[in-house]
């Protein structure tokens, strides 16, 4: 008996020693002290990117965290971002999954799919058929029409002296554009179906960004502590019912056309996807769930982030009248007041472009780039094990004084070579994934395929809002007073989630700036 106990003790010692040696060999990045079971979850607040920044300020730019049963690393410098997203791009080519992501994307998402044949196929077809230059140019009249309708809402409200919820109108504008490209319908259609999509988009982006105990602590997998599973099911049935109705309706129309001998030409992305689904020789066999997942991908990506960016930019301009006036001077010099700005003017508006870059720096619509490793990787002498979540904290990088002069101040001039007090480093920064201190659309293979569409619509929309109206804020919570001109500053607090919108919706009374003979015909009045 004593011999057996001794042997057991030796075995335990050997197992413990082997684990300790393996841990030493792996040399994980620095890490705070973890608690049993929950690891470092107690260190995370609702705004995860803020919490990661605070931990990194104490333990270094590359840290290791244990989120319950899940390993994670957080990177907070451009140099690390380049190593992880470019040098070791293949190693970090996977994406995280969760109960919410898997259910709401039908386990068929393009955005969250592993890098492989399905992901490559969808990237190719979406880039060419929906987001390529040919389609962007083809849908230019629609974007112009939707922008004028958007301005028309404000113009009608201004004539009545009424306020308008800019946050909601921006979401409708973004959703109208992507809805017409994908479904040939508007979110303000009489049946109200796409209004449901707008609601779902915000619900999805919020729940995707939350940490769910059931996702990260293995023995809690089947316990819905936070009610996330119930919320997911509510969203799923609301969204699935709508999509099923839209797909079925389109299938019936296609069937009717065929029976009548009418050739049904592809009108939008839904037609293209149905063509692929019906093609027996297609490179990848698509199912209805694949189509539904793709719609969720594109609606969430195109609707929320675009609206968030414009709202943050406008809020910063309202807070800083000097910058707003400078933007108007540029627009007036290029366009004048005899017509409303259009997309062809974008290249002649460097200050508007600089305002958007500065907005991306201070308020990235998706504050962290998230990936997952598929194999072990060495970074700066540290080992990052396979199946480790990676978070590149772009929000933190954008506010780091090592890389930005006066990082907490909104200064678009930093991106203008003629105004830059330093050298040409910041003025030459672009946003297409080559400069790792500013990555609003990500980098590498998994960068956002909609960057070209976004950078056509964003400058025009923001410039039109600046050109056409003054904005009198009417829902301002108590905030700080600007010492320069004694006006009350907008609250710039963020709301938690996968994206980072302002916590308070922006409600203003628009005041027209252009002559009525310019606004009346454009805005339909």
What letters, b where the CB count within 10 A reaches 16 and e where it falls short, cover 471-490?
Answer: bebeebeeeeeeeeeeeeeb
Which residues are within 8 A (CB) of 370 and not within 5 positions of it... i.e. 6 or more apart? 95, 96, 389, 390, 391, 392
> Do residues 490 and 319 make contact, with C-beta atoms less than 8 angstroms apart?
yes
Largest Cα–Cα distance in the chain?
101
Which residues are within 8 A (CB) of 85 and not within 5 positions of it... i.e. 6 or more apart? 92, 369, 371, 392, 436, 439, 442, 443, 444
Give backbone dihedrals phi and psi of 199, rounded to 5 degrees, phi first. Answer: -65, -45
Q: Is 508 within any annotated ligand binding site?
A: no
155 is written with which tokens? 């113009």
Give the residue from 145, 51, 122 showing the smallest Cα distance to 290.
Answer: 122
Give the helix ranges, DSSP H, for 31-77: 48-59
Residues 35, 38, 41, CA angle at the centre, nearest 5°?
95
Which residues are within 8 A (CB) of 161 and not within 5 positions of it... i.e. 6 or more apart? 509
272 is written with which tokens? 């293209």
Can you tell me whether residue 350 is helix, strand or coil? helix
- Within 13 A of 111's CA, how many CA atoms are on the CB side? 27
What is the signed CA dihedral for 319, 322, 327, 332, rounded to 10 degrees?
Answer: 130
What letters, b where the CB count within 10 A reaches 16 and e where it falls short, cover 208-221?
Answer: bbbbbbbbbbeebe
Which residues are within 8 A (CB) of 2 and not within 5 positions of it... i.e. 6 or more apart? none
Can you tell me whether residue 81 is helix, strand or coil? helix
Give the residue from 172, 198, 184, 176 showing the smallest Cα distance to 274.
Answer: 184
- Residue spans of beta strands (DSSP E) within 293-397: 368-372, 377-379, 382-384, 389-393
Own/partner contacts of 442-446, CB < 8 Å, gap of 24 or more, are: 442/85, 442/369, 443/81, 443/85, 443/86, 443/369, 444/85, 444/86, 444/89, 445/89, 445/93, 445/115, 445/123, 446/93, 446/95, 446/115, 446/371
What is the signed CA dihedral for 226, 227, 232, 235, rounded to 10 degrees?
Answer: -120
Give the residue from 424, 422, 423, 442 showing the smallest Cα distance to 432.
Answer: 442
355 is written with which tokens? 């305002």
Binding residue ranges: 448
Binding residue ranges for heme: 448
């Amino acid at each position: 008996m004593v011999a057996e106990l001794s042997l057991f003790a030796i075995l335990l010692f050997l197992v413990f020693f082997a684990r300790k040696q393996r841990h030493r060999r792996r040399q994980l990045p620095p890490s705070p002290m973890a608690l049993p079971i929950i690891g470092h979850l107690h260190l995370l607040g609702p705004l995860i990117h803020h919490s990661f920044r605070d931990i990194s300020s104490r333990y270094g730019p590359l840290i290791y965290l244990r989120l319950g049963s899940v390993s994670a690393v957080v990177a907070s410098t451009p140099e690390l971002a380049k190593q992880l997203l470019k040098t070791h791009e293949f190693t970090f080519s996977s994406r995280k999954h969760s109960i919410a992501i898997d259910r709401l994307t039908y386990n068929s998402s393009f955005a969250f799919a592993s890098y492989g044949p399905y992901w490559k196929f969808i990237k190719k077809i979406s880039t060419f058929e929906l987001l390529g230059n040919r389609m962007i140019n083809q849908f230019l009249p629609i974007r112009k029409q939707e922008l004028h309708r958007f301005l028309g809402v404000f113009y009608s409200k201004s004539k009545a002296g009424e306020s308008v919820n800019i946050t909601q109108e921006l979401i409708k504008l973004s959703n109208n554009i992507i809805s017409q490209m994908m479904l040939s319908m508007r979110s303000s259609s009489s049946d109200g179906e796409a209004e449901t999509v707008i609601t779902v988009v915000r619900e999805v982006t919020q729940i995707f960004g939350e940490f769910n105990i059931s996702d990260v602590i293995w023995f809690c997998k089947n316990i819905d502590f936070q009610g996330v599973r119930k919320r997911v099911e509510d969203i799923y049935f609301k969204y699935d019912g709508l999509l099923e109705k839209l797909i079925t309706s389109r299938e019936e129309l296609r069937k009717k056309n065929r029976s009548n001998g009418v050739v049904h030409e592809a009108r939008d992305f839904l037609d293209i996807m149905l063509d692929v689904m019906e093609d027996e020789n297609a490179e990848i066999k698509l199912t209805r769930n694949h189509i539904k997942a793709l719609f969720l991908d594109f609606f969430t990506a195109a609707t929320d982030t675009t609206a968030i960016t414009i709202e943050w930019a406008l809020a910063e301009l309202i807070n800083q009248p000097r910058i707003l006036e400078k933007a108007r001077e540029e627009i007036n010099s290029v366009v004048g007041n005899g017509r409303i700005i259009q997309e062809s003017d974008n290249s002649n508006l460097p200050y508007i472009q600089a305002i958007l870059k500065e907005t991306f720096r201070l308020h990235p619509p998706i504050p962290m780039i998230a990936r997952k490793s598929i194999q072990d990787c060495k970074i700066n002498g540290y080992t990052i094990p396979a199946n480790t979540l990676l978070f590149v904290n772009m929000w933190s990088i954008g506010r780091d004084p090592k890389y930005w002069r006066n990082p907490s101040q909104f200064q678009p001039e930093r991106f203008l070579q003629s105004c830059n007090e330093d050298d040409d480093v910041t003025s030459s920064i672009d946003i297409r994934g080559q400069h790792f201190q500013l990555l609003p659309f990500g980098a590498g293979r998994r960068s956002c395929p909609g960057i070209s569409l976004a950078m056509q619509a964003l400058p025009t929309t923001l410039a039109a809002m600046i050109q056409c109206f003054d904005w009198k804020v009417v829902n301002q919570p108590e905030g700080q007073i600007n010492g320069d001109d004694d006006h009350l500053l907008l609250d710039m607090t963020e709301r938690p989630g996968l994206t980072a919108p302002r916590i308070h919706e922006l409600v203003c009374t628009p005041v027209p700036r252009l002559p009525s003979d310019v606004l009346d015909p454009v805005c339909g009045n």
